[in-house]
Structure 1
Amino acid sequence: MWVPRFSEHNQPMYLMVAQALEQDIARGVLVGGERLPTLKALAAALDVTPGTISRAYEEAQRRGLVVGEVGRGTFVSQRPAMRGDAPAAEGRLDLPSAQLDLSVIKPHGAVLESWLREALMRLAQSEDLTRSLDYAPEGGHPLHREAGAHWLRGALPEARWQQVVITAGAQHGLLVAMNGLTRSGDLILCEALCYPGIISLAHHSGRRLQGVAMDEQGILPEALRERCRQEKPALLVCVATCQNPTTAIMSEARRAEIAEIAREFDFLILDDDIYGFLAPTPLRPLASFAPERSVYLTSLSKSVAPALRIGYLHGPPETLSRLNAMVRSSVWMPSPLMAQLATQVIAEGLGTQLMAVQREEAAARQAIAAQVFQGLQVRSQPNSYHLWLTLPEPWSCDEFALLARANGVTLLSGSQFFAERSTSTRGVRIVLMSPTSRDELRFALTRLASMLASAEPRLYY
């Protein structure tokens, strides 16, 4: 039976198997028409799941290396298409996208499919499935809320399930908190460069949004205090760890100072801690410095899987009725089926394992970026999913983003993150986790670095 041999383990397993297939075909180890091992047999030989081998064969078929025949198995193509071959004159050429997407912050997907496939199978066979097929009580089922509290206690040890409100992801959690805790016309403060979802929500709900000046730790306390002297804010939305887009991490001393300003000027804090698990050293959440006036928010979409659209809000008792009312008026209830899957993932420890895997992958990719962007002005964190690149003059962020797209790389211009139009920046946000492999990431980053090294922007007009 053919079993692949790997000289190094630097890619997801399914890609390594597909690569080994391609190499063995090129060397003549495998010949056209030869039958490959069954999914079950090869999975057992490599100590992986059959789903991983299925994905490897799908990738090999996409490359033209193998063909599958229903009821018979998978066979080496009679003339496998090797890399460098000229495309056929007729027929559909199935190529990957010409764009390398470095614009969406998400966990690396290669490790997720087989793990979550098995979790879904266990859910289907679980006695708890029945609970997930009916309407949920206000705030969510107590078991689901307790799982949420358990998840939060990694950062917020005092979390109580009675104070947890389940949301349909972090973006929905932002909507629930911003609309539930403020009124139309109220002033909401955030970082001067902030997550575009905050900007969109504020504008669509009739809230006024103002940005607060920042440094390498995020919001400047003196700038926040000055804003509060000029106007009375109702809410501060803050990403204190691995801030999006700048990757800033706020020190605990500054978190305490921000909390005191909130007490002094009597406003609420929405602590968006969706990237808290990526901190190189554990930090107390901003919400823990003023728990009586803070709502803490996180979700599983960045740490476990993008499709697991379950978020958790933890607020003071006096905010819960408003938060629950906003959940009802926006989606009635988050999916109990999804909440049950999230509960299972948390209870089995799978979420903790996936977080560790993602931190390790992010660190490896940050190391690649540091090497490729050596000599450029970059802000990042050891385990962050993204980085913030300040462009040398005379580049502007918009023209660089447009030129990068023309060269096959999609990223976000810093202008996408302006809380107010008066803000200016020469920065662009580059996400490292989307490319399928580290080699693909290196290729994309090298393209960007070569653009800066070899051309002036005026040459492209």
Structure 2
Amino acid sequence: MPAVSEIKFKQIARTIESRIRDGVYPPNTKLPPHRVLAEELQTTPVTVAKAYKLLSEQNQVESFVGRGTFVCGESRLSSVIQSSDDEDVYNFSILQPCLSHHLPALQNAIRQSASQLTSQLIGYAENSGHERHRQTGIRWASEYGLEPGTTHNTLLTSGAQNALAVLVESLTKPGDTIAVETLTYPGILAIASLKRRHVVGVQMDEHGMIPEHLQQSIEQHHPKLVITVPSHQNPTGITMPEERRIQIADIIRQHHIWLVEDDIYGFLNEKPIPAICNWLPEQGFHVTSLSKAICPALRCGFIKAPSSQVATVSAHIRTDIWLSSPLNFIIAEELIHSGQAFELAERQRLLAAERQAIAKQYLPETTTPGQGYHLWLPLPSGWQQERFAMEAQNHRILVSSGSYFDTQQSCNHIRLSLTAIHSGKKFREGMEKLNQLLHADPATVLSYQTNPF
């Protein structure tokens, strides 16, 4: 028969599990010290320590010497970004280029790149990759508003998501606070959650992050890092004008904190807008990639970092992945130096504008500026975002609930990707089905009903 203390610590572990499930202890929350919880549950600190150890072994909590025990973070990226190989599905969930437009150019670039392979080029390389590939990144980013970096301060990553994760790990530590837009890219929230960073949302207006609210957030929450998506912001579609970018840079400079500028949609601007990092050479980290403009499989990300932080960020890249695959950057180099990359990006920009115009014929309620890859759509009265996403999926339509983007749980929207569906005809069909579902009475739409239209 097990000892009473053994039964007790398992009971306490179940109590903590229940509190995690019910939201009493949300992800990244620091659990009470052993003695405090022991007093509350009328047991001993040793028994609580055993319960924490059991939960740690089950990957539900994580302990840090000298800092305490924290609820493990969670990532819901698989829910918000849904990929499907089913040709009958209307995928308005995943943000990516219309890839059928790019296949011939990519196939040709791969053939051309194969002839350039050398043993040196495909071997290990210092400084996060070969100098010629860093030069490629400089040319790409400077085309869309970034003051050119150097091969010293331009670093290579496996896409923008890898770049963001590396920078959060490099510039903050568990328990630190990161400031983001109130509505923000779920990939940022996933990184913060899994790496035990706290997130605070900064209010937005029609020009993006509001400077006065950023000032207040910094003074109140003392974030170590601010992350913003200045062009075609995900999910709102807002693009910061130059004046707002200067104001944000001024506040960052005054408070001596770091800025990460996630600029992966800058190529969608009709004319280049100066990057915020242009005004923050010693505090700003500019991130871009080829995933949205060219191809998600081409995992080529670029960081322009302050010179003082190059060694630190490079060390984190080496620790995480050693170096990004040179094979990807060989292909990227061919596309960029031939000029094809810029032609493909322009083709996607024009297609996005065309899809925006079509979408607004079916969904006039949207207020999203009409240039980017997606719409941020308010739901009609009676629909709740989670219920609508579920019902849409029952009709073979994939959309992203606004809850995944919301740091304050105050919206009732869905985000719609406009470019993942290749066929223009199928895109219009999907828009029509979405329009009908949006204007249906939620009370009459039966869950798990199939194709009522």
Classify the TM-score, shorter chain: 0.7 to 0.9
Q: Does 1:144 align with 2:130?
A: no
| Percent of aligned pairs with the same amino acid | 33
The equivalent position to 2:329 in structure 1, one of 307, 315, 339, is 339
What does residue 426 of structure 1 align with?
A: 412
What does residue 27 of structure 2 align with?
A: none
- Secondary structure in 2 matching 1:257: helix
- Secondary structure in 2 matching 1:172: helix
Deviations 1:328-370 (A, max 9, x none): 1111110111121111211111111101111111111111101
What does residue 274 of structure 1 align with?
A: 264
Measured after TM superposition, the shift of residue 316 of structure 1 is 0.8
Q: Given residue 318 of structure 1, which amino acid in structure 2 is its aligned partner?
A: S
Alignment of 1:437-448 (within 5 A): 437-448=423-434
Q: Given residue 376 of structure 2, which amino acid in structure 1 is its aligned partner?
A: W
Check whether the contact 2:380–2:439 (CA below 8 A) recurs between aligned residues.
no
CA RMSD of aligned residues (A): 1.5
Q: What is the distance in 1 between the residues matched to 2:443 and 2:132?
A: 56
What does residue 233 of structure 1 align with?
A: 223
What does residue 347 of structure 2 align with?
A: 357
Measured after TM superposition, the shift of residue 457 of structure 1 is 4.5
Measured after TM superposition, the shift of residue 453 of structure 1 is 2.0
Measured after TM superposition, the shift of residue 418 of structure 1 is 2.1
Deviations 1:224-277 (A, max 9, x none): 111111121110010011000110111211111111111222211000000011
Check whether the contact 1:159–1:314 (CA below 8 A) recurs between aligned residues.
yes
What does residue 37 of structure 1 align with?
A: none
TM-score normalised according to structure 1 size: 0.76
Alignment of 1:249-328 (within 5 A): 249-328=239-318
What does residue 378 of structure 2 align with?
A: 390
Q: Does 1:453 align with 2:446?
A: no
Measured after TM superposition, the shift of residue 280 of structure 1 is 2.9
Deviations 1:43-86 (A, max 9, x none): xxxxxxxxxxxxxxxxxxxxxxxxxxxxxxxxxxxxxxxxxxxx
Question: What runs of 5+ residues in structure 1 fail to find an aligned partner?
Answer: 1-94
What does residue 42 of structure 2 align with?
A: none
Alignment of 1:55-454 (within 5 A): 97-126=87-116, 128-154=117-143, 155-374=145-364, 376=365, 378-419=366-407, 422-454=408-440
- Secondary structure in 1 matching 2:311: helix
Measured after TM superposition, the shift of residue 459 of structure 1 is 4.5
Q: Given residue 272 of structure 2, which amino acid in structure 1 is its aligned partner?
A: P
- Secondary structure in 1 matching 2:439: helix
Check whether the contact 2:128–2:322 (CA below 8 A) recurs between aligned residues.
no
- Secondary structure in 1 matching 2:319: helix
Q: Which runs of 4+ in 1 moved over 6 A?
A: none
Q: Given residue 393 of structure 2, which amino acid in structure 1 is its aligned partner?
A: R
Q: Given residue 436 of structure 1, which amino acid in structure 2 is its aligned partner?
A: H
Q: What is the distance in 2 between the residues matched to 1:125 and 1:199?
A: 41
Q: What is the distance in 1 between the residues matched to 2:443 and 2:277?
A: 44
Q: What is the distance in 1 between the residues matched to 2:438 and 2:93?
A: 19
Question: What runs of 5+ residues in structure 2 fail to find an aligned partner?
Answer: 1-84, 448-453
Q: What is the distance in 1 between the residues matched to 2:402 and 2:296?
A: 23
Check whether the contact 1:140–1:336 (CA below 8 A) recurs between aligned residues.
yes
How many positions carry a matched residue from both structures? 362
- Secondary structure in 2 matching 1:379: coil
Q: What is the distance in 2 between the residues matched to 1:231 and 1:380?
A: 30
Measured after TM superposition, the shift of residue 213 of structure 1 is 1.3
Q: What is the distance in 1 between the residues matched to 2:382 and 2:279?
A: 42
Check whether the contact 2:203–2:209 (CA below 8 A) recurs between aligned residues.
yes
Q: Given residue 136 of structure 2, which amino acid in structure 1 is its aligned partner?
A: A
Deviations 1:368-388 (A, max 9, x none): 1011113x2x13333311111
Residues 1:406 and 1:357: Cα distance change in structure 2 (over 3 Å)? same
Q: What is the distance in 1 between the residues matched to 2:293 and 2:312?
A: 28
Q: What is the distance in 2 between the residues matched to 1:132 and 1:259?
A: 38
Q: What is the distance in 2 between the residues matched to 1:165 and 1:457?
A: 53
Q: What is the distance in 2 between the residues matched to 1:213 and 1:415?
A: 16
What does residue 45 of structure 1 align with?
A: none
Q: Given residue 207 of structure 1, which amino acid in structure 2 is its aligned partner?
A: R
Q: What is the distance in 2 between the residues matched to 1:364 and 1:152?
A: 25
Moved more, 214-223 or 235-244: 214-223
Check whether the contact 1:181–1:319 (CA below 8 A) recurs between aligned residues.
no
Q: What is the distance in 2 between the residues matched to 1:196 and 1:263?
A: 26
Measured after TM superposition, the shift of residue 458 of structure 1 is 6.1
Q: Given residue 190 of structure 2, which amino acid in structure 1 is its aligned partner?
A: S
Q: What is the distance in 1 between the residues matched to 2:243 and 2:344?
A: 30
Deviations 1:200-233 (A, max 9, x none): 1111112111111112222111111111111211
Check whether the contact 2:134–2:155 (CA below 8 A) recurs between aligned residues.
yes
- Secondary structure in 2 matching 1:130: coil
What does residue 12 of structure 1 align with?
A: none
Check whether the contact 1:189–1:233 (CA below 8 A) recurs between aligned residues.
yes
